[in-house]
């Protein structure tokens, strides 16, 4: 089989890239190791920066997001028993949209298949071969048979454990990683959110986050030890711990209910450099991971797709190669800025051991941040998302 752009991974980045290319008449084929049901059922992030929301509209898949998504013009920082609101709109003129990744993926799949797009589910990629030539190929398995997809270019959108990055010779790639000594215990429940905007809480017992997926579905997190297990937590124990970490007037409003899902996510920062290897391009979690504190993971995948789609379109429409040559450099600039912000926000809000001085310094910084126009503006600019760099 042959196509113009072979895409590994049918998550949001792979689907969004395929959609943007299709609208410009560029063919692609997606291979995905999991089943369609598994991909559509994954519970993931739901905070979209304005840049990502605009890109979804450009891809003509933003109608349901605009109709059902929750536009948030602010967020709240809880500390020292009180809450302080960060007015995103006032400091940046922008907002974020709460729209679950599960719904976003469904929109992209529906649009892709309706347009005749090809997704080979349950077809795990085994390797990317000949990526340093103009005819790279994706070797994958389908129905127990070895298959090859010959392409002009390969987009590795297959996540941290995918084969795209693993296919690159170790001497050609440099990996950077930071692991945090804690995780997030998260619960999803069909209960009304505790507040109309997100709450990030700093507490001496550890971090907590109050989020939502819709007006009737809530997502909550509490910081937990890295070696903790879901089996150690009942629903009641989780709700009690969450209440402890919130200001009392807020905790009183918490509506509890049985879990739909509970899981523990480790926190780490990871970057692979460069993001291009001949005809192979990495995007999303295949190239970088950030702590979820700043809600940057999904949005960084979208910014990669923004740059990569424009580079590929320029190649096919104008026979230009300069944007392909600049893809890694430009993408990594934005990646590093997002990792820096996520590291800073994680360091500000989480408990690090029993360091009482660190907790007091966090409180001092939060007091300064929430009383300083400059501080609030800086945080708001990073939270709503730095603008995409001009790329044309």
Q: Is residue 216 part of a domain?
A: no
Q: Is residue 142 part of a domain?
A: yes
Q: Is residue 228 part of a domain?
A: no
The H or E element containing residue 351 is: none
Domain of 66, in residue numbers = 5-73+95-177+268-351
**Residue 42 confidence (pLDDT) above 90:** no
**Residue 43 confidence (pLDDT) above 90:** no
**Residue 46 confidence (pLDDT) above 90:** no
Q: With bands split at pLDDT 50, 70 and 90, how would you rate the model's confidence at 156? A: very high
Of 92, 91, 84, 95, which Cα lies nearest the Cα of 369?
Answer: 84
CATH number at residue 312: 3.50.50.60
Which pLDDT score, from 0 to 100, does residue 45 have? 72
Q: Is residue 13 part of a domain?
A: yes
Q: Is residue 207 part of a domain?
A: no
Q: With bands split at pLDDT 50, 70 and 90, how would you rate the model's confidence at 162? A: very high
Q: With bands split at pLDDT 50, 70 and 90, how would you rate the model's confidence at 355? A: confident
Number of structural domains in the chain: 1
Catalytic positions, written as ranges: 72, 200, 292, 296, 383
pTM listed for this prediction: 0.95
Which pLDDT score, from 0 to 100, does residue 306 have? 98
Q: Is residue 197 part of a domain?
A: no
275-311: pLDDT as tens digits: 999 999 999 999 999 999 989 999 999 999 999 999 9
Q: Is residue 194 part of a domain?
A: no
* DSSP, res 120: E
3-class SS string, 41-77: HCCCCCEECHHHHHHHHHCCCCHHHHHHCEEECEEEE
Q: Is residue 155 part of a domain?
A: yes
């Amino acid at each position: 089989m042959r196509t113009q752009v072979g895409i590994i991974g049918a998550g949001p980045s792979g689907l969004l890239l395929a959609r943007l290319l299709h609208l410009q008449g560029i063919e692609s084929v997606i291979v995905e190791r999991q089943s369609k049901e598994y991909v559509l059922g994954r519970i993931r992030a739901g905070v979209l920066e304005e840049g990502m929301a605009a890109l979804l509209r450009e891809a003509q898949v933003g109608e349901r997001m605009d109709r059902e998504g929750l536009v948030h013009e602010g967020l709240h920082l809880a500390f020292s028993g009180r809450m302080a609101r960060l007015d995103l709109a006032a400091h940046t003129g922008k907002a974020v949209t709460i729209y679950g990744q599960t719904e976003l993926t469904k929109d992209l799949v529906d649009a892709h298949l309706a347009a005749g797009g090809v997704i080979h589910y349950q077809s795990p990629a085994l390797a990317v071969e000949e990526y340093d030539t103009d005819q790279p190929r994706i070797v994958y398995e389908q129905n127990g048979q070895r298959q090859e997809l010959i392409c002009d270019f390969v987009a590795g959108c297959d996540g941290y454990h995918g084969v795209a990055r693993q296919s690159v010779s170790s001497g050609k790639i440099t990996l950077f990683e930071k692991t945090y000594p804690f995780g997030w215990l998260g619960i999803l429940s069909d209960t009304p959110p505790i507040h109309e905007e997100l709450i990030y809480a700093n507490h001496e017992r550890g971090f907590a986050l109050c989020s939502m997926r819709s007006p009737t579905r809530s997502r909550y997190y509490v910081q937990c030890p890295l070696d903790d297990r879901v089996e150690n937590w009942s629903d009641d124990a989780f709700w009690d711990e969450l209440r402890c970490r919130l200001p009392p007037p807020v905790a009183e409003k918490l509506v509890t209910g049985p879990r739909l899902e509970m899981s523990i996510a480790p926190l780490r920062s990871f970057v692979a450099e460069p993001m291009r290897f001949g005809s192979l391009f990495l995007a999303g979690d295949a190239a970088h991971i950030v702590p979820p504190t700043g809600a940057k993971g999904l949005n960084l995948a979208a910014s990669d797709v923004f740059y990569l789609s424009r580079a590929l379109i320029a190649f096919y429409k104008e026979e230009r190669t300069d944007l392909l040559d600049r893809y890694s450099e430009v993408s990594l600039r934005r990646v590093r800025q997002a990792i820096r912000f996520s590291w800073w926000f994680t360091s500000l809000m989480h408990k690090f051991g029993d360091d009482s001085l660190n907790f007091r310094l966090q409180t001092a910084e939060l007091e300064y941040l929430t009383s300083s126009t400059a501080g609030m503006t800086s945080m708001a600019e990073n939270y709503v998302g730095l603008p995409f760099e001009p790329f044309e």
